[in-house]
Structure 1
Amino acid sequence: MRITIAHVHSKVCVQLEPFEIDIDPSSSILQVKEKIAQQTNVQPYDQFLTVEGRAVEDEQTVSSYDFIKDGSRIILVIFPNVSREKYRIYVAIQCSNGERKTIDLDIHYYDTVAQVRQSIYERTQIPTDKQRLIFAGKQLSDERIFSNYGVQKESTALLLIRD
């Protein structure tokens, strides 16, 4: 199976060009990270991988994720020496009827906006396609890392619900 590795630029690492690797579906995600390390010199423990906005775990196999197929694009985020601990943010939800409520979420420094939106869905049942996240006046893009927008511990993001 051939997959494309695309690097998401972050403040802690230079941009890498997308590249392809061949993997066996029975390989663990850790083994995939080791293949990536051979081409990038980035250690597996400094790599965070997502596919279609969903995180993949080191101990799982490629085939255990039904959304990883031949030709899939895996997003690589590099976080050398960055804490893997979670931190709390707040999301102010603005409903179309004018109601407003706030929820708290514990997220990782390296979570993508898509992952944060999925966490919001799990807490509120608001479908991800109806969510529009705003921080510091900017609409947030799914493939970017949430913290790259300047979101820090105890920050508040605004969630607008699309009709």
Structure 2
Amino acid sequence: MTGCNPSSNPLELEAALYLESILTSVKRAINTGDWDDVRHFFAPEFTCQPVFRPCSSGPDVSQGLCGLEEYIKMCRSVLPAMATEIVNVVTDVDLRHGRAASFTTFRTIGVPEGVVRHSVGRFQWRRIQGEWKLTSHMSARGMEVE
């Protein structure tokens, strides 16, 4: 499911739908481990505050910001046990300032094994040299669902 601010103009709605399609491609990369087709959507300064760090030796909690390569490594470390899907996404676009934010709910299966979690996330976008780029992602762990 996707959505856009209903007061948005048609150009903002079109941009929101485009950004949401990129998130679908990123989700596919998370689930398959193949990031080649989506790397160009990330800004060089992309940062992520993940809800978990499965490849760390510490507790299963966020430990600050990481860059794209560490994020990819974390996602790959739990494959093939993990699968994630976007349950809902709403994107607010500000074309005038070249910024956008996508607010998502996710369902993740397999981290840890046999557990289903619902989480929320925020992806921030910026238009850089005419192209939309992901600049940050932050997520918050949801409840376990049986």
Q: TM-score, normalised by structure 1?
A: 0.27
Q: TM-score, normalised by structure 2?
A: 0.29
Q: Which has the higher strand share?
A: 2
